[in-house]
Amino acid sequence: MATFTVIDPVTRIEGHMKIEVSIDASQGVQQVVDANVCGTLFRGFEKLLIGRDPMDAQHITQRICGVCPISHAMAAVVTLDKISRTKIPLNGLMLRNLVMGANFVESHILHFYLLSALDYIDGPAMRPWLSTWSIDRRFDKATTDVLIGHYIKAIEMKRKGQEAAAVFCGKIPHSPAYIPGGFTNAPTQEQITLFNSYLTELIDFVNNIYIPDAEALAATYNDYFSIGRGYGNLLAYGCFDEDVAGKKKLFTPGFVLNGALKKKAPVMTKISEHVKNSWYADSTTNLNPKAGITEPLYPKGDAYSWLKAPRYVKNPMEVGPLARMWMTGDYQDGISVMDRQVARAYEAKKIAEAMARWVSTVNLAAPVYKKDTVPAKGTNYGLTEAPRGALGHWVKIAGGKIASYQIITPTCWNCSPRDDAGQMGPMEKALIGTVVQDPDKPVEVLRVIHSFDPCLDCAVHVMRAK
Ligand code: NFE
C-alpha cells in the first residue's frame, strides 16, 4: 500500500507550494508513484492590470516577484516596443541586458547556496540552519564547513549582484528604469567603473567558488544524474538581445520535443493553457494566452492548483537554465536533478562573462532612449527569459488602456498541474520513480523539487480569507 506524504509548505523556494506524493514499496524499494504539485495562492495580476495605463505594466508586473522583477520589466517593455514598432538604441539594449544579467547571476547564486545546498549538507546547529531531515549526507565535515563558509559568502555576493544592477537601474527589486523606448538613465563613467568592480567580484565568485562547488556536488551525488528527468521536453524563448534587430541573442530560442531538438523559435499559436485541474472556470480552458482569460473558480471538483497548465503543442515543457543551455549547445549532457544544478552554474558564468563584453560597448555619448509613444490600440506579446526559464507577457490595448494581459511564468510551465488530457506537469513527472529512504523525511523529493528552482510567487499570489 502506498504511503501518502504531504510537504506543505515546501520551504526554500519562493512563494507557496504544497507537494503531495504517494510512495509505494511494492517493488522492493520505496519510490514515488504519484505526485501532485499545488500552487496554493491565486496570483490575480492579470485582473488588476485591466483598465490601467499600458505604461504602468512594467511597474505593476515587476511586483509579481522580488526575485525576478527585471524579467517582468523586460517582458512588459519589449511587448510595448513591439506594439509601437520602436527599435531601441543599442545603448538602451545593453543597459537592459546588464541589469537583467546581474539579476540572473545573483538569483543563481541564491538558488544554489541558500535554497538548494541544505538538501545535501547540514548547516551549523543554529538557526536558520537547524535541520530535522539529516539524511543521505555524503560530504565529510571539513568539506561541509567549507560549503557553509561559501553559503555565508553567497549572501554577500547575492547582495553585490543586486547592488551591481542598481548602479544602472536605480533600485532593485522593482526598478523604474525600464521604459518603452529603452532605459531612463544615461550612465556615467563612474557608474561603469563601479559596475565593473562588482562584476569582477561576481565573476571571481562564480568561477572559483560556485562552479567548483556545483561540480563537487555533482561528483558526490552523481546518482542524481539519473534522478528527476521528467518528460525530457525543453523550451526556451531566448533572451539578451545583442543587436537592435533582435537577430543576435546570447540565449537562442528553441525546443526539444519527443527527443527532437529544434533550434528555432517556438510557434506562439501552439501554446495553450489548460485549467481542468486548476481553480479557474472550465469555460476558459485550452486558450492561447493571446485570448486568455483569468476567471478564478474555487473550489472546483478535483482541481488542485492555482497554476494553469501551459502546454506547447499539447505537451508539458520544462523551462530554465538547462533548457537555455541546451539550445545554445553549451550543455547537452542530460536532463536530471544534477544536470539542472550544473547547467545553472555554467549559465551564471556565461552570463557574467557576457556582461563584461556588454559593459565595454556602452557608449557614454550615445542615447539610451528613443521616444516611444505607445498607441491607444494594439496587441502583441513580449518574450524573454527569467532566471527560472521562459517568460511571456501577452497584451491587448484598447482606448489607451490595458484591455487584456496574460502572463505565463517559468514556474507555471514547470510546476503546472495535470492538463485537460490528464498529463502531469513537468515537475510532477520528474518526481515519479524517485526512491525515498524515509517517507516521513523525503529529502530526495525536495532535491528534485529544488532542482527546478520553483518560484510560486511568480505563479500565484493572492488569497481571500475564505
Ligand atoms: Ni519569482 Fe520568476 C518564475 C523567475 S518569472 S522568480 O517562475 O525566474 O516569473
Convert the pLDDT of each residue in 256-289 to its tens digit: 999 999 999 999 999 999 999 999 999 999 999 9
CB 344 within 8 A of CB 322: yes
Tell me if 386 CB under 6 Å of ligand 1.
yes
385 lines ligand 1 (CB under 6 A): no
If one residue of 13, 14, 61, 67 were mutated to test the ligand 1 pocket, choosing by the most ligand atoms within 8 A of its CB, it would be 67
| Cα distances (angstroms) measured from residue 187 to each of 318, 362, 369 | 37, 8, 12
How far is the centre of ligand 1, averaged over its atoms, from the C-alpha of 117 (Å)?
Answer: 20
Residue labelled with grid coordinates 543563481: 108
Which pTM was predicted?
A: 0.97
Mean pLDDT over each residue of the chain, to the nearest integer: 95
Q: Is the CB of residue 68 below 6 angstroms from any atom belonging to ligand 1?
A: yes
CA–centroid distance, residue 102 to ligand 1 (Å): 15
Q: How far apart are the CA of 103 and the centre of ligand 1, in A?
A: 11
Q: Which atom of ligand 1 is found nearest the CA of 388?
A: 8
User: CB-based contacts of 220: which residues, under 8 Å, 6+ apart?
Assistant: 120, 138, 139
CA angle 403, 313, 309 (to 5 degrees): 60
Q: Say how many Å lie between the CA of residue 406 and the centre of ligand 1.
A: 15
- Cα dihedral value 360, 330, 243, 59, nearest 10: -90
46 lines ligand 1 (CB under 6 A): no
**Beta strand spans in 25-172 (E):** 31-39
Ligand 1 contacts CB of residue 65 (under 6 A): yes
**By C-alpha distance, which of 423, 424, 425 is closest to 414?**
425
Reported as type and span, the H/E element at residue 232 is none
Q: Is 189 left (phi over 0), alpha (psi -120 to 50) or beta?
A: alpha
In angstroms, what is the span from residue 14 Cα to ligand 1's centroid?
9
Q: Half-sphere exposure of 103 toward its Cβ, with a 13 Å CA cutoff?
A: 30
CATH number of 42-430: 1.10.645.10
How far lies 62's CA from each of 40, 66, 71, 74, 405, in Å?
21, 8, 8, 9, 14
**Rounded to an integer, what distance in angstroms lies between the CA atom of residue 267 and that of residue 126?**
50
Does any ligand 1 atom lie closer than 6 A to the CB of residue 14?
yes
321 alpha carbon, distance to own chain's centre: 8
pLDDT digits (tens, 9 = 90+) for 336-363: 999 999 999 999 999 999 999 999 999 9
Residue 332 CA, ligand 1 centroid: distance in Å: 23
Residue with C-alpha cell 519562493?
14
Cα 358 to averaged position of ligand 1 atoms, centre (Å): 24
In this structure, the strands spanning 239-241 and 249-251 are antiparallel
383, β-bridge pairs: 392
Does residue 387's CB lie within 6 angstroms of at least one atom of ligand 1?
Answer: yes
Pocket flag, ligand 1, residue 406 (CB < 6 Å): no
Per-position pLDDT tens, the chain of length 466: 688 889 888 888 887 899 999 999 998 999 999 999 999 888 889 999 999 999 999 999 999 999 999 999 999 999 999 999 999 999 999 999 999 999 999 999 999 999 999 999 999 888 888 877 889 999 999 999 999 999 999 999 999 999 999 999 999 999 999 999 999 999 999 999 999 999 999 999 999 999 999 999 999 999 999 999 999 999 999 999 999 998 999 999 999 999 999 999 999 999 999 999 999 999 999 999 999 999 999 999 999 999 999 999 999 999 999 999 999 999 999 999 999 999 999 999 999 999 999 999 999 999 999 998 899 999 999 999 999 999 999 999 999 999 999 999 999 999 999 999 999 999 999 999 999 999 999 999 999 999 999 998 766 545 555 5
- Of 37, 340, 409, 460, best ligand 1 pocket probe by most atoms within 8 Å of the beta carbon: 409
